[in-house]
Amino acid sequence: MAKIIDGKAIAQEIRKEIKERVEELKARGKQPGLAVVLVGNNPASQTYVRMKEKACQEVGMYSEVHRLPEETSEEELLTLIDQLNANEKIHGILVQLPLPEHIDEKKIIDRILPEKDVDGFHPVNVGNLFTNTARFVACTPRGCIELLDRMGVEIEGKKAVVIGRSNIVGKPVAMLLLHRNATVTLCHSRTADLKKECLDADILVVAVGRPEMITGDMIKEGAVVIDVGINRLEDGRLVGDVHFESAKEKASMITPVPGGVGPMTIAMLLLNTLEACE
Ligand SMILES: Nc1nc2c(c(=O)[nH]1)N[C@@H](CN(C=O)c1ccc(C(=O)N[C@@H](CCC(=O)O)C(=O)O)cc1)CN2
């Protein structure tokens, strides 16, 4: 039976450490500042933005949230980004995704100064991740690695399998695992024999966005399973991409959903903002 990786508790521990570092900075006359931009009325995005605002307050960071209507034009959003880029109180800028369809996500992200891109989505930061010289790494992938480290999981020399090749999670987490000397396989919807690849994994990271797709019979005895998926079912339940009940019988450690990787995303955003200020 697997040990449950308590992401909520680990994120709380990290937030406490960040609070202490913010207090030290404040004593030297500096306060980290984060600007969060939300366009439209996506209910999940509204929740995440509120969580980010509260997290900033708790650790003593300055924060401002710009809530813009759904019909905001690309030009208006770019103008706001320019203002935030020039604002000395702001060390980190985050545009909550997804954006409404009429706005080109790439155009907006590219406009954020790389040194304020605490989401780690700007091409300069993505490129630096590739060469292992990253200033900012995307929050969810960084959170996955932090969970492994804080649970004492050895990464070097292990077979790591990542399922999902998104720019936000799959690709960056594969790169981070590679930089830690894991042997990495990156799987996707066209992978010929997904079960075979999964059964090879000492560390399995799943980020596909399909509820409970990975079942216990696809997991090697003793593997460490990191479930990045957050899926809301019709009955209101929140589940991951991994079928938790069957997977926990095979894994040595596993993240739950909720309470696994999710809370780490916000903890890593605070950490990136703190580092941007430092
Ligand atoms: N600009 C960004 N947009 C989005 C990101 C991101 O990193 N940057 N990631 C996701 C959403 N996200 C943060 O923005 C996020 C998702 C989930 C959680 C979380 O703590 N989840 C809880 C469950 C919460 C619930 O009840 O719904 C958990 O897993 O325990 C935090 C942040 C997409 N957009």
- Give catalytic status of residue 241 as yes or no: no
Complex ipTM tops 0.90: yes
226, 204 Cβ separation under 8 angstroms: yes
pLDDT at 39: 98
Which ligand 1 atom sits nearest the alpha carbon of residue 140? Answer: 7
pLDDT at 202: 98
Ligand 1: centre distance to CA 96 (Å) = 10
201, 234 Cβ separation under 8 angstroms: no
Domains observed in the chain: 31-113 (3.40.50.10860), 139-262 (3.40.50.720)
Instruction: Name residues contacting ligand 1 (CB within 6 A).
Output: 47-48, 51, 94-97, 119, 139-140, 230, 238, 257-259, 262-263, 265-266
52, 13 Cβ separation under 8 angstroms: no
Task: Name the pLDDT band for 70 (thresholds 50, 70, 90).
Answer: very high
- Give catalytic status of residue 16 as yes or no: no
- Give catalytic status of residue 46 as yes or no: no
Average pLDDT over residues 263-269: 98
Bin 60: left if φ > 0, else alpha if -120 < ψ < 50, else beta: left
**Residue ranges at the known binding site for NADP(+):** 164-166, 230
pLDDT at 231: 97
Which of 14, 15, 48 most suits a substitution to test ligand 1, by most atoms within 8 Å of the C-beta? Answer: 48
pLDDT at 164: 98
Which ligand 1 atom sits nearest the alpha carbon of residue 94? Answer: 1
* Residue found by looking up tokens 């605490």 in the block: 118
- Which amino acid does the sequence have at 230? I
Task: Name the pLDDT band for 175 (thresholds 50, 70, 90).
Answer: very high
Nearest to 104 by CA among 75, 70, 65, 137: 75
Mean residue pLDDT across the chain: 98
pLDDT at 179: 98
Give pLDDT tens digits for 86-125: 999 999 999 999 999 999 999 999 999 999 999 999 999 9
- Identify the active-site residue in 6, 116, 117, 119: 119
Ligand 1: centre distance to CA 44 (Å) = 8
